[in-house]
Amino acid sequence: MSNEWNPRIVAFFCNWCTYTAADLAGVSRLKYASNVRVIRLMCSGRVDPQFILDALAKGADGVLIGGCHPSDCHYAEGNYKCLRRFHLLKRMIADMGIEPDRLRLEWISAAEGAKVKTVIDEMTETITKLGPLGIPQKFEEWDKEMEQFAHGVEAGEKGKQPCDQHAQLQEALNA
């Protein structure tokens, strides 16, 4: 077995275009990176930002969204809704300290099986260069920091007398 790290990528694909293109890539025996887990949605407009944040929080190193080309959405404007959310999410994850390149949106029609292969291989290469995101491990570190902080606050509270207003409020609540 190899000790080489492989990125974990979650892909949200539109049922009508990108998922069908991924199926075409498979039927055409096009080889692409096997570290992508595809989740089929009826429309890219149904990709809730919470799905992406949840995928990253649960160990994904990157997220790929695939939808119909603009003006070709089977649900009229679903891909435009996805595009607005995508730009919002890119800014939000950058503010969280996560590289925006870990999130990618591509318009892929049902006839573009080769494009699915290209996009997945490029995404895998990009995430490999960025390295592991490791959010679950960061949660453990943050929990330890919060425990230390709580102990520090607790120790500080034991050495102080409550202010008069606080004491009066406590008496009123206990009465």
Q: How many residues does the chain have?
A: 175
User: Given pLDDT bands bounded at 50, 70 and 90, which one contains residue 172?
Assistant: confident
Looking at the DSSP bridge assignments, the partners of residue 37 are: 10
Residues 36-61 have pLDDT tens digits of 999 999 999 999 999 999 999 999 99
**Mean model confidence pLDDT for the chain:** 90
Which CATH number does 9-133 carry? 3.40.50
User: Given pLDDT bands bounded at 50, 70 and 90, which one contains residue 126?
Assistant: very high
The predicted pLDDT at position 2 comes to 54
CA distances from 57 to 3, 25, 75, 92 (A): 23, 29, 30, 14
Give the span between the Cα atoms of 104 and 87, in whole angstroms. 10
**Taking the domains of the chain in order of start, what are their residue ranges?**
9-133, 137-174
User: Given pLDDT bands bounded at 50, 70 and 90, which one contains residue 1?
Assistant: very low
